[in-house]
Amino acid sequence: MSRSERDVAQLVLRLMDLTSLNQSDSPAAITELCTSAASSYGSPAALCVFPEFVVWAKHECERLNLTQVKIATVTNFPMGSIDVARAVAETERAVGAGADEVDVVFPYQALTAGDEKVGYDMVQACKQACAERALLKVILETGELQTPQLIRRASEIAIQAGADFIKTSTGKVAVNATPEAAKMMLEAIRESGTQCGFKAAGGVRTAADAAVYLDLAQQIMGSSFLSPERFRFGASGLLTNLHAILAGQSPASAGTSY
């Protein structure tokens, strides 16, 4: 992919789910998050916050004239419980509160133990809870699945059950997004023949990090895949790096990505 660093930064900004999923989050922190999305360089695809802040994030985005920015939240987060009813109830409440997108954690530990059914049932039921009102992004927690076979199988199950996106990670474990996991997930999407999207989350801290995933997606899925409708990055600290590049400054690489 022959893009300049600035072009990469501009594209990645458009593909970001700017994220704050910290136990210390407060309405003031979410206001700060929303304000950071209102830059002269363009806005991210979405803001991802805990369910209790969905209404506030919506309100602040309206105040800042960021109505084009989607509000995403998380359910069954971060442990990936096998309790389908609870995951569905959390998803229903999130959609009822106005979430445009829901990132649900796949019950990855159950899959590791050999149970494929609970993951399928959870994704299918949460997709039904989202109906036409919200996108469902399924977090596979690939760093915990560990083996290529399990990553591939989790991808297939989530896609078959109706996921709108499959996502690498919560950002809350030791190993998050990796190019190796991304490749397997993208190949599963390609071979499914569906319109499922892909989201890399965790450890993507710079435009250079992000470019690795853009290259992979372009090679496997083609250039048209690189749109907010099909491809996302889940990140927080990445924004500082992107803004520095777009401002023509020396980019800082520090930050946390979820």
Distance CA 100, CA 207 (A): 26
DSSP 120-134: HHHHHHHHHHHTTTS
For 34, half-sphere exposure in the C-beta direction (CA atoms, 13 angstrom radius) is 28
Half-sphere exposure of residue 249: CA atoms within 13 angstroms, side-chain side? 9
> Residue 177 CA to chain centroid, in angstroms?
11
C-alpha dist (Å) from residue 118 to 77, 85, 127, 231: 16, 11, 14, 26
Token pair in block for residue 211: 């470019």
- Out of 17, 100, 199, 209, the active site residue is 199
Nearest of 208, 157, 156, 139 to residue 179 by alpha carbon: 208
- Which residues does 51 contact at the CB level (< 8 Å), separation at least 6? 73, 74, 75, 90, 93, 94, 97, 99
Q: Is 129 exposed, middle or buried (0-12, 13-18, 19+ CB in 10 A)?
A: buried
Q: Is 172 a catalytic residue?
A: no
Among candidate residues 17, 58, 100, 103, the one labeled active-site is 103
Residue with tokens 């106005």: 98
Whole-angstrom Cα distance, residue 62 to residue 46? 13
Catalytic residue chosen out of the listed positions 58, 70, 137, 167: 167
Is 103 considered catalytic here?
Answer: yes
- Is 199 noted as a catalytic residue in this protein? yes
Active site members:
103, 167, 199
